[in-house]
Structure 1
Amino acid sequence: MTTAEAAARLGVKAETLYAYVSRGLLTSERGTGGRASTFDAAEVEALVATRGATRRPTGVAETITTRLTLLADDEVYYRGLRATDLARTETPERVAALLWLGDRDAGIDEPDLGGVVEPVREIVAHLPGRPRPTDRLRVAVATLAALDPWRFDLEPAAVVATAMRCWRGMVGALGEGGLWPALADDPTTPEPPEVLRTALVLLADHGLAASTMAARVAASARAHPYAVVSAGLGALDGPVHGTASTAAHRFLGEALRDPEAAVAERLRAGERLPGFGHSIYRERDPRAAVLLALIPGSEEAAVVERLAAAVAGRPGVFPNVDLAMAAVQRVYGLRAEAGEAIFAVARTVGWIAHALEQYADPGLRFRVEGAYVGLRPS
């Protein structure tokens, strides 16, 4: 088979085909006189059978390239800069400029939200039942979209303007005074200067997490920025992603009463410890240390350290950002579900950054091919 034939049969690009060769999945022979490589048809067919592969639809990406966030060696980098360093010095707005425009010093104009926030806040305030902050955010984003006739403009400058309008509108819809009074047990408590700033920077992006993939899929279909954020919020609302912080908050409350009993109860039930471990990191979550440094000497920080010591030596079991955020919430009097809302507001920056990348690649679409195992027509 020629390179083109083998790539077409496997449904991949030529670059991927040669990657298969380097990994030992295929062998190739270089043609004489500078002719292109050829592939053994039997090997190609065997790989097709192994992968269950068929020709991919035109424009379907097997690999997503990004210049935004690198996760390597138990560290996080935004455009080559260590996120934990940025969290100690930078504002969320400057990090948004870094991720959206590639330059922390690039100014982003504040949106004119006059006549917009009040009706959105009114709708959000009258939701039935007992909506969580993230429920309010989802409704706020949909309402903000309906009020923005320019939302379909996907030119980069317009997307950035819409993104800032969405970001500010989300916070404004939760209530007057910003994010802190909307999430604090006592809204009159003064906001500590570093808590929200640090958390919003640390959580701004984390590579191709589930919610970010949902946002990129929406952007690949040329959905407007509000729809991209809505897709991210939908994927975020699950126990193994965005709502994990609430489980960690609950677990830490139990541990504050009796650390050993809290761990033993989870182990007895065969459950993983909430707020421990991560699918990406191997020995530590670098974001956790930055958050815990905000509460030195607190009972909560001491209990997290005690819990970590109790499970030390177990591979991949260490305090993660959810447990650290839960400790910060308890020290500063934030509600149990505040971590979810902070996560959602912070990650909106990352979703928009990934959308900007996706909009710039007009030929890219996502479509996962399913292996049908149901009834066949007779």
Structure 2
Amino acid sequence: MEGLSAKEVADRLGVETATVYAYVSRGALERLPGTDGRRSRYDPDQVEELARRTRPRSTRRRTGAVDVVIGTTVSEIGDGWVRYRDRDLGELAATAGFEEVCGLLWTGELAAPPPPTATGADVERAVEALPAGATIDARLATAAVVVGCRTEPTPMELVHALVTALSPIGDDPGPAATVAERLWPRVSPLPANAARVRALEVALVLLAEHELATSTLAVRVAASTGAAPASCVLAGLGAVAGPLHGKAAIAVHRQLLEGAEPTERGPLQGFGHSVHRSGDPRYAPLLAVATGIAAPRVRQQTAQVGRRTRTDPPPNVDAALGALAFAAEMEVGVTEAVFSIARTAGWLAHAHEEADEPPLRFRGRTRYRGPRADPS
């Protein structure tokens, strides 16, 4: 087992590296020999247990929160950094395509899976049958249901089906195109070009996975029951359908359209993160490509989306996604589709991994808080 470095342990525990060594000297943490014979490593499970034991009462999660920690090989995050299969996310966003990242998350190899063979006509028919004004949530869920009716659909079929669920508003490049190429004319009225499609692809890569977010936990719970991949994706989509997960970029986009200044915007949207307290590493690369495709008249406004007051926390990826939507002239609300399609890559990786775990392991218990019946 490779284990964590001392710096990674310090980041996870929120302490200085010297404190990590103090934990070792007190026997609270065990050193493992490094593969190079020199640098010590540390057991991730032991570090997580120590994190739970040493979390100060004043910084514990809000009352009623459920703390779930599971082992995974899919991704790892800490304050200011994200890794997919131990590959730095910033490097992946700069050099890899979304399909390659899907392959990395699903198989551990940075290689694009074969493209889907299904045409998507069944998804188109089902979506067209929805009532007028059907929400993005409904369209994506319908696509997942349809794919679940196919015989052994591939993970890439599921991703492309979600893209197909959105009606094109520009020239459709056809089913053989990449996810980003197919998605662009469905989310933006601007003609596709290399820079614009690449900006969208960077967003897909950066949003593909982020550890055990609420929707991913829902996916793993579904997978633990033996649910098929399409049903697991439905569980994730159900979590995103709520207003509190995957939709913050909508508010940022709306604020940009209204031209709100930081001091005028009201409740903060797109700022702060429970893990990335010193800054979300996904924000800067996504804002850079969003600014790069913005028209000159809105470029400065796009670039300043993360401008904050003195007391604001750092901007997060939602701020940058809102900026991309603004620069791409998307309709308000479309960022939810970008998020869900991207995150399906991570959901499917977690669903596959969960299949190797003991089934039905997410069996929580409740503590009754209601009134007691009068014994008399």
TM-score normalised according to structure 2 size: 0.73
Greater C-alpha radius of gyration: 1
CA change 1:307–1:205 in 2 (3 A) is closer
| Structure 1 residue 123 displacement after superposition | 1.8
Q: Deviations over 1:219-272 (max 9, x none)?
A: 0111000000000001012222111111111122223xx425xx3351xxxx3x
The alignment's C-alpha RMSD in Å is 3.0
Aligned amino acid, residue 71 of structure 1: I
SS of residue in 2 equivalent to 1:174? coil
Match of 2:157 in 1: 165
Q: Which residues of structure 2 form unaligned runs of 5+?
A: 1-44, 56-62, 174-181
**Whole-angstrom CA distance in 2 between matches of 1:135 and 1:259:** 34
Match of 2:117 in 1: 112
CA change 1:300–1:290 in 2 (3 A) is farther
Match of 2:133 in 1: 130
CA change 1:224–1:252 in 2 (3 A) is same
**Whole-angstrom CA distance in 2 between matches of 1:337 and 1:62:** 30
How many residue pairs get matched? Answer: 304
**Whole-angstrom CA distance in 2 between matches of 1:180 and 1:277:** 28
Do the aligned partners of 1:292 and 1:301 also contact (CA within 8 Å) in 2? no
CA change 1:170–1:306 in 2 (3 A) is closer
**Whole-angstrom CA distance in 2 between matches of 1:62 and 1:169:** 31
**Whole-angstrom CA distance in 2 between matches of 1:278 and 1:167:** 27
Match of 1:103 among 106, 109, 118: 109
Aligned amino acid, residue 125 of structure 1: E
Match of 2:271 in 1: 276
**Whole-angstrom CA distance in 2 between matches of 1:374 and 1:23:** 30
| Structure 1 residue 364 displacement after superposition | 5.4
Runs ≥4 residues deviating over 6 A: none
Aligned amino acid, residue 111 of structure 1: P
Aligned amino acid, residue 140 of structure 1: A
SS of residue in 1 equivalent to 2:282? helix
Do the aligned partners of 2:225 and 2:359 also contact (CA within 8 Å) in 1? no
CA change 1:91–1:306 in 2 (3 A) is closer
TM-score normalised according to structure 1 size: 0.72
**Whole-angstrom CA distance in 1 between matches of 2:306 and 2:188:** 27
Aligned amino acid, residue 238 of structure 2: G
**Whole-angstrom CA distance in 2 between matches of 1:286 and 1:131:** 34
Do the aligned partners of 2:100 and 2:110 also contact (CA within 8 Å) in 1? yes
Do the aligned partners of 1:97 and 1:103 also contact (CA within 8 Å) in 2? yes
Match of 1:253 in 2: 257
Q: Higher relative CO (CA 8 A, sep ≥ 6), structure 1 or 2?
A: 1
SS of residue in 1 equivalent to 2:351? helix
CA change 1:143–1:374 in 2 (3 A) is same
**Whole-angstrom CA distance in 1 between matches of 2:76 and 2:70:** 13
**Whole-angstrom CA distance in 2 between matches of 1:24 and 1:94:** 39
Do the aligned partners of 2:226 and 2:359 also contact (CA within 8 Å) in 1? no
Match of 1:203 in 2: 207
Matched, 1:85 2:91: yes
**Whole-angstrom CA distance in 1 between matches of 2:351 and 2:305:** 39
Match of 1:44 in 2: none
Once the two structures are overlaid, the 10-residue window that deviates more, 209-218 or 324-333, is: 324-333
Match of 1:336 among 308, 332, 338: 332
**Whole-angstrom CA distance in 2 between matches of 1:24 and 1:291:** 35
**Whole-angstrom CA distance in 2 between matches of 1:82 and 1:108:** 21
Identity value in percent: 36
Aligned amino acid, residue 370 of structure 2: G
Match of 1:145 in 2: 148
Aligned amino acid, residue 341 of structure 1: A
